[in-house]
Amino acid sequence: MKSLLLTFFTISLALCIQSCSRVCGCVSPPISSELMGQWEWTRTETPSRTITPQTAGYTQTLEYGNDQTNNYLAIYRNDTLSMRLGLVRGSTQENTREFSVLEKYASLYLKSYLIRNSTHPNREIYTSELMENYSAKADTVRHYYKFKGYVAR
């Protein structure tokens, strides 16, 4: 009888744990899902200087979205679309230790980092340069963005 109760309890516990991930969302969503929406450029840091929208003379917005067929990256300069690239399926590489996502859009790579610490209460990211072949050199230039909102479709 004890063996039967122990088996029943073990199976019940396993089913509860399995259903938990479906019901309460205990399984973490991919980092790339946190990029979805519009991001407003705040500054760019290079090894030799910092550039802001005020010093550059323009504004820039990144838009990570989905057009119901594919994820895409759109770049707006002064609220005018300057580039729209489709995500290459299967190209996303996530690093949960550094909260980063490397994605290939058309023929260009972009690495995005989510800023996670107590001094940044608002959602912020920084990105590398868009590059044909991603390398560590891309991380010497960092473009910082703050979350602006979700894309209304």
Task: Flag whether 21 is in a domain.
Answer: no
Task: Flag whether 55 is in a domain.
Answer: yes
Task: Flag whether 25 is in a domain.
Answer: no
Q: What pLDDT score does 148 carry?
A: 93
Q: Name which of 34, 58, 41 is nearest 127 in CA terms.
A: 41
Q: What pLDDT score does 25 carry?
A: 54
Does the pLDDT of residue 140 top 80, yes or no?
Answer: yes
The pTM of the full predicted model, rounded to 2 decimals, is: 0.77
Query: pLDDT tens digit string along 9-61?
Result: 445 444 444 544 445 556 678 888 899 999 999 999 999 999 999 999 999 99
Task: Flag whether 83 is in a domain.
Answer: yes
Position 8 confidence tier, pLDDT thresholds 50, 70, 90: very low
Would residue 61 be called left, alpha or beta, if left means φ above 0 and alpha means ψ between -120 and 50 degrees? beta
Angle at 50 between CA 48 and CA 54, to 5 degrees: 145
| Non-local CB neighbours of 150 within 8 Å, separated by 6+ positions | 36, 37, 38
Q: What pLDDT score does 6 carry?
A: 44
What is the number of domains present in the chain? 1
Q: What pLDDT score does 65 carry?
A: 94
DSSP category for residue 1: -
Task: Flag whether 48 is in a domain.
Answer: yes
Give residue 143's domain range: 31-149
Q: What pLDDT score does 29 carry?
A: 82
Q: What pLDDT score does 130 carry?
A: 92
Q: What pLDDT score does 153 carry?
A: 57
Task: Flag whether 2 is in a domain.
Answer: no
* CATH number of the domain to which 90 belongs: 2.40.128
Task: Flag whether 79 is in a domain.
Answer: yes
Q: What pLDDT score does 13 carry?
A: 44
Query: pLDDT tens digit string along 64-98?
Result: 999 989 999 999 999 999 999 999 999 999 999 98
Q: What pLDDT score does 124 carry?
A: 94
Query: pLDDT tens digit string along 96-122?
Result: 998 999 999 999 999 999 997 656 567
